[in-house]
Amino acid sequence: MKIAEEAGLLVKLANLFKPLFTRLFPDIPHDHPAMGYILSNFSANVFGLGNAATPLGIKAMKEMKN
């Protein structure tokens, strides 16, 4: 995950999928921290890093709750 982050892949994936996720979650503002966690969670799952994706999903849920 750190290698993908340093290579800029996470940012590229987040920018690629952001239009889709803003439509899936219309109640979450574009600049809300939960959206970043959701995109990071999805990116981790794309790379097959389920263990890394779980904490990001939990953080996203906590942010959406607030």
Averaged confidence pLDDT in the chain: 88
Confidence of residue 7 (pLDDT cuts 50, 70, 90): confident
| Average pLDDT, integer, range 47-62 | 90
DSSP labels for 31-56? T-HHHHHHHHHHHHHHTT-HHHHHHH
Residue 64 has, within 13 A of its CA and on its CB side, a CA count of: 15
Confidence of residue 26 (pLDDT cuts 50, 70, 90): very high
Tell me: pLDDT of 57 over 80: yes
Radius of gyration of the chain (CA): 11
Residue 47 has, within 13 A of its CA and on its CB side, a CA count of: 18
Q: Would you say 41 and 57 are in contact if contact means Cβ atoms under 8 Å apart?
A: yes
